[in-house]
A and B are shown apart, each in its own frame.
Chain A
Amino acid sequence: MTIDLVVHCSKVHVYDGWCETASREGDHSPKNRSEGLLHSGDRCLAVVTGSKCEFLGLMECVRVNTRIRFILLEGLRTSWPICMGYFPIGLAFGVLGQKAGLNPFQIGMMSLLVFAGSSQFIAVSMLSSGAEVMSIAMTTFVINLRHFLMSSSLVVYLQQAGWKFLSAFAYGITDESFAVNMTRFRANEWGKYRALAVNQWANAAWVASTVIGGMGGEFIPAGSFGIDYALSAMFIALLVFQLRGRIYVMTALLAGVLAVALALLIPGNSYVVLASLLAATAGFALKKYAQKKKGIHV
């Protein structure tokens, strides 16, 4: 079990068995209630471990010195499948950008400011065909609207976080980081800073791979070692982690079938949002119906 942070127990907010926010002993101002404020040698009253807050009596904080390194390493250990999966896609994007007449700096700038793969591909092909700024922005908006749903889902685990943290965290919400962080949060073994580290490692891999692609990535053989399948395999595993009962399996199956049907009917990627909304609502209705009918929990 890893020790996340050492905190004053009375200030620990417990949310669904998950401890969050802390303050130094004697420090009661609400604005200072965040993980990062502890320093080595601060005297604290409890430790927060993965899922529970333990009272240990007055003790010294000793983990703090290594906290940043610990957070970055944990983030890397968790995000490597994303980073690996991004590489072939990022290289391909860089090559496409280069062919459309963009230099590596311009490619990197788009990856840094937008950080959303599929919309970047579409934007570059729209740029090559001479589309207007307005229509590129509208298309990007529609493609990336699905993050709204992911962000709403993540917020359950980020209650009490400050606006600065949330504004930084929002930047890194992608299909992949959402899925990985959600799984770890769900297992009660995750903290917001490690989630942020996952976002930023993935971001670094994305920016780096697109820039490398823009510098001549076509020399790297496509399809090496099945790396093109990294993200698909990762999503399969993450879906398995989400299936914690019959209602999740039914919701997932319904979403999958709906998504395929909608993907065949409507061009673009609005099928993700539509299928997810419909399936989650149907799953929710089914759960309520079953609870009412039999008085049992599905």
Chain B
Amino acid sequence: MSETSYLLVVLSMGVVTYVPRWFPLFFLAQRRLPMWLIEWLDLIPAAILSALIFPDLFTANDPRQLELFQIKSLVAVPTLLFSLKTKSLGGTVVVGMSLYWVAGKLMG
């Protein structure tokens, strides 16, 4: 593939990725948001985080299949407990990584 057509691919990808990131910031920032919208948006982060994590932990393969018990999901349990107990982001990351590493050595 030529340099120019690669550049075209990357530029078009950049534009279509940037616009959805920019649009709500640009058009909503100067407006007073209605209370119901703020309350609804308040629930979005918890929902998005869950929607990102659960499939990552409980599915595997391509096409995806349900895989409730795999190293990822088993390690998630002590990681979650540690996080609930300590509320520490850095600590949770280190503990999760260590457990995953050890579990991989033991089970893999």
Q: Are B53 and A171 in contact (CB under 8 A)?
A: no
Kindly identify which residue among B25, B59, B75 contacts A169, using a CB–CB cutoff of 8 Å.
Answer: B25
Kindly identify which residue among B11, B45, B72 contacts A182, using a CB–CB cutoff of 8 Å.
Answer: B45
B106: Cβ under 8 A from any A Cβ? no
List residues of chain B with CB within 8 A of the CB of A159: 29-30
List residues of chain A with CB within 8 A of the CB of B66: 260, 264
In the complex, what distance in Å separates the CA atom of A161 from the CA atom of B25? Answer: 9
Q: Are A167 and B22 in contact (CB under 8 A)?
A: yes
Closest residue on chain B to residue A247 by CB atoms: B43
Kindly identify which residue among A106, A169, A232, A281 contacts B72, using a CB–CB cutoff of 8 Å.
Answer: A232
Instruction: Find the residue from A146, A186, A238 having the highest chain B CB count within 10 A.
Output: A238
Instruction: Say whether, besides A223-B104, A255-B51, A115 and B17 are in contact (CB < 8 Å).
Output: yes
Identify which of A37-45, A62-70, A203-211, A268-276 touches chain B. Answer: A268-276
Classify the interface of chain A: helix, strand, loop or mixed: helix
Which residues of chain B (28-74) have a CB below 8 Å from chain A?
28-30, 33, 36, 38-59, 63-66, 72
Classify the interface of chain B: helix, strand, loop or mixed: helix
Kindly identify which residue among A239, A256, A267 contacts B63, using a CB–CB cutoff of 8 Å.
Answer: A267
Interface residues of B (CB under 8 A from A): 1, 5-18, 20-26, 28-30, 33, 36, 38-59, 63-66, 72, 75-76, 79-80, 83-84, 87-90, 92-93, 95-102, 104
Q: Are B93 and A256 in contact (CB under 8 A)?
A: no
A259: Cβ under 8 A from any B Cβ? yes
Interface residues of A (CB under 8 A from B): 80-81, 84-85, 101-102, 106, 109-110, 113-116, 119-120, 123, 127, 133, 136-138, 140-141, 144-156, 158-161, 163, 166-167, 169-171, 173, 175, 178-180, 182-183, 186, 223, 225-230, 232-243, 247-248, 251-260, 263-264, 267, 271-272, 275-277, 279-281, 283-284, 287
Q: Are B51 and A230 in contact (CB under 8 A)?
A: no
Instruction: Say whether, besides A160-B29, A280-B44, A256 and B51 are in contact (CB < 8 Å).
Output: yes
* Supplied contacts A149-B44, A276-B48, 17 more A-B pairs, CB within 8 Å: A110-B10, A127-B6, A150-B21, A151-B24, A155-B29, A160-B29, A163-B29, A170-B26, A179-B48, A179-B49, A186-B45, A232-B72, A248-B43, A256-B51, A258-B51, A264-B66, A272-B48
